[in-house]
Amino acid sequence: MTEFSISKGSKGGHPLEVSTPCGASLESILCTEELRRRPLRPAEFDKENSALVSLASALADSPGTILQTLADKVLEVLQADSAGLSLLTKDEKRFYWAAIAGAWAPHIGGGTQRAFGPCGDVLDRNIPLLFTHWERRYPYLGTAVPLAEEGLLVPFYVNGKAVGTIWAIAHDKRRQFDTEDLRLLESMGRFASAAYQAVESIENLKFEIAQREKAETALLGLNNDLEARVRVRTEELEERNAAARQATASLQAAFQQIEVLKDQLYKENIALREEIDQTSMFEEIIGTAHPLKEVLARVSKVAPTDSIVLITGETGTGKELIARALHKRSGRASRVFVSVNCAGIPPALVASELFGHEKGSFTGALQRRIGRFELAEGGTIFLDEVGELQAETQIALLRVLQEREFERVGGAQPLPADVRLIAATNRDLKAAIAEGSFRSDLFYRLNVFPIEMPSLRARKDDIPLLAEYFIHRYAGKMGKRFSSISKESLEMLQSYTWPGNIRQLQNVIERSVIICETGTLTIDESWVAGKALENSNSIQPLPQKLAEDEKSRIEAALAEARGRVSGPSGAAVKLGMPASTLESKIRALKINKHSFKAAA
């Protein structure tokens, strides 16, 4: 059994059950050839053009009702008794009457079977058809009143595929369709294709908007839940801090002898650091030393502005942590923070990485790529190791800072750059300017608000705090628990010079947590004993013979690499050393690397 719904305006008001087709043959109800023999009328181009202009205006103003407007216009132009549009369902098994005007208007929303109905026959033959008394072949249409004397149906298409029919009906013999009616209906059918696509695009857009709003609501819920958890955890830590302070006071009052009191105070300080309120820390920047406080005071002042910040200091001092703190305390905190290590990108790809590229802009550019500046739109971009940028990239970056816009590689359309720039380097940029490897105009653009990070040697009082923080962090990851760090180990940590700064201290603590099996953490003396390694940025003078040999090797590599230091074919690869180390040696040995470019 096949179900056919005539809609609430149909006779009986209920779906009609239709058996296997047993009506008249299709040929017996077609009079398409007769239509072509009927008297010809002059083409009504003015009426057609007026109707199409009216429909185009309606599509622009009210796309949601354009199908009904089209049905009304067909009724008017063809002077029919009823007119409408039948659309295939997505499973292509039925037609539903999407819009109806005239006498059949109450039947809107009904439809016919795809396999047994006039609309299906039109799509099967893929030509316009004129029917007469179609209820003889399709008995279920006898319930759609008033009956149709003639029905003219034209298929319409989207992207070459038939998706429905547009039709006009005469309910008595006073109105007979002719070839001019067919031409006008075909013209309306072509407009129906455009209207169908417009309605479908609007529905798809509404669906996408609804899905996005749903996702945003879910994300907001997750964010609110996270904030609630943070508040609960903060309250717990504050309660534990209060308990720790009370315990410290009790312990101090319990001991009478000075020596015992000193040892007890040391243990209490360790316990207090374990219970320290993490929410009181300045992000992950831990310490109370005066040089660090000065840095954080400068961060607090410049963070709310959009000024460019240049962070300098030795490697491992926490320059990226400061950059993230600046972002989180700025007006852009709700937007993205994009970090770029300029030294970690091959020179040939730096421009593409920062500014993106268009499809086909170079070999291997198979599709358009969004650059880091575009990703950071509205947020903050952090350029670490900015002193390693090549000359051509420095020029492009200077333009971004001056014009607040950039172009993708291979593109010609300027794109706005609404980003806050923070740069960092462990190089001496003034020395780089003097030797010609860094542009002075770019330096002055970057050096709006300089912040110099203190070395760990200048923050020795912070070493116990940092050590306890790293112990707690790595012990938790490894499922271990330490009651304290030995006094001797702490003294060793404070007496060491730490050329690698906080990063080196972090590595030593992690290594100790892995190895130590007792409740008190101890540090292997050999790890922090002896003369510290030279800082990679300061090469000590070499003995004369050794310096000459070193200089000859570097000059030979530079000549072979045509003055290029970094990159796959650079001198650093040929010499088997990091590019930053080679740059330091070039400065120390007073080698002019640019002369090798000129020679090439």
Q: What pLDDT is attached to residue 51?
A: 84
Q: Is residue 555 a contact partner of residue 591, using CB atoms and an 8 Å limit? A: yes
Q: What pLDDT is attached to residue 77?
A: 92
User: Helices 544-560 and 579-588: crossing angle, nearest 10°?
Assistant: 120
Residues sharing a CB contact under 8 Å with residue 440, sequence separation 6 or more, in sequence order? 433
Q: What angle do CA 347, 349, 350 make, to 5 degrees?
A: 65
CA distance 544 to 536: 21
Share of the chain above pLDDT 90, in %: 20
What pLDDT digit, counting tens, does each position of 193-202 carry? 888 887 777 7
- Say whether pLDDT at 132 is over 60: yes
CA distance 588 to 582: 10
Which DSSP string do the residues of 6-53 spell out, in sequence order? Answer: --TTSTTSS-EEE-S--S--SGGGB-HHHHHHSPP----HHHHHHHHH
- Say whether pLDDT at 260 is over 60: no
H helical segments located in 95-178: 118-125
Tokens for 581? 């180390």
Q: What pLDDT is attached to residue 168?
A: 94
CA distance 521 to 460: 19
Put residue 128 in one of left, alpha, beta given phi > 0 → left and psi -120 to 50 → alpha.
beta
Q: What pLDDT is attached to residue 50?
A: 86
Query: Do strands 94-102 and 82-88 pair parallel, antiparallel, or not at all (unpaired)?
Result: antiparallel
Report the SS3 class of residue 130. Answer: strand
Provide, for the chain, the percentages of residues in helix, strand and coil under a 3-state DSSP scheme, each rounded to the nearest 5.
Answer: 50, 15, 35
Q: What pLDDT is attached to residue 383?
A: 92
Q: What pLDDT is attached to residue 544?
A: 61
Q: What pLDDT is attached to residue 321?
A: 92
- Say whether pLDDT at 9 is over 50: no
Nearest Cα to Cα of residue 565 among 325, 443, 372, 387: 387
Highest mean pLDDT range out of 58-67, 274-283, 591-600? Answer: 58-67
What pLDDT digit, counting tens, does each position of 376-427 carry? 889 999 999 998 888 888 888 888 888 888 888 887 788 888 899 999 999 8
Which DSSP string do the residues of 70-107 spell out, in sequence order? Answer: HHHHHHHHHT-SEEEEEEE-TTSSEEEEEEEEETTGGG
Distances (CA, A) of 130 to 115, 494, 516: 18, 99, 93
Residue 63's φ and ψ, nearest 5 degrees, are -60, -25
Q: Which amino acid is at 443?
A: F
Least confident of 54-63, 349-358, 527-536, 578-587: 527-536
- Say whether pLDDT at 331 is over 80: yes
Least confident of 118-122, 255-259, 314-318, 469-473: 255-259
CA distance 402 to 445: 8
As a whole number, mean pLDDT of residues 150-179 equals 90
- Say whether pLDDT at 299 is over 90: yes
As a whole number, mean pLDDT of residues 54-67 equals 83
As a whole number, mean pLDDT of residues 93-103 equals 90
- Say whether pLDDT at 554 is over 80: yes
Q: Which amino acid is at 317?
A: T
Q: What pLDDT is attached to residue 515?
A: 87
Q: Is residue 454 a contact partner of residue 317, using CB atoms and an 8 Å limit? A: yes
Nearest Cα to Cα of residue 300 among 319, 312, 282, 313: 282
Least confident of 88-102, 333-347, 475-489, 519-533: 519-533
- Say whether pLDDT at 538 is over 60: no
**Other CB atoms within 10 Å distance of the CB of residue 61:** 10
